[in-house]
Amino acid sequence: MSSLSGTERKNIAPGLAVSIVLKKDQRSGKLTEGIVKDILTKAPMHTHGIKVRLESGEIGRVKVIESED
């Protein structure tokens, strides 16, 4: 089972299943699962995770990229 880093933009693409932390959940660290709709971070890397919009409309930083194996 491979675990890609959510801090690198190249690892993230629309349609990918990820777990993000929402702004309101940053203190608790609660994760929200969903499918990436848009990548909002323009930089190739971000230390706190790449910011994405899920298909549900929720916006947060990627913490876990769900592996397909």
The band of 5, judged by pLDDT with boundaries at 50, 70 and 90, is: confident
The DSSP-derived string for 46-59 is -TT--EEEETTS-E
pLDDT single digits (tens) 16-60 = 999 999 999 999 999 999 999 999 999 999 999 999 999 999 999
pLDDT of residue 4: 77
* Measured distance CA(64)–CA(22) in Å, rounded: 13
Within 13 A of 3's CA, how many CA atoms are on the CB side? 4
The DSSP-derived string for the chain is -----TTBGGG--TT-EEEEEEGGGTTTT-EEEEEEEEE---SSB-TT--EEEETTS-EEEEEEEPP--
Residue 68 has pLDDT above 70, yes or no: no
Domains contained in the chain, CATH given: 9-65 (2.30.30)
pLDDT of residue 60: 97
Please give the model's pTM, rounded to 2 decimal places: 0.89
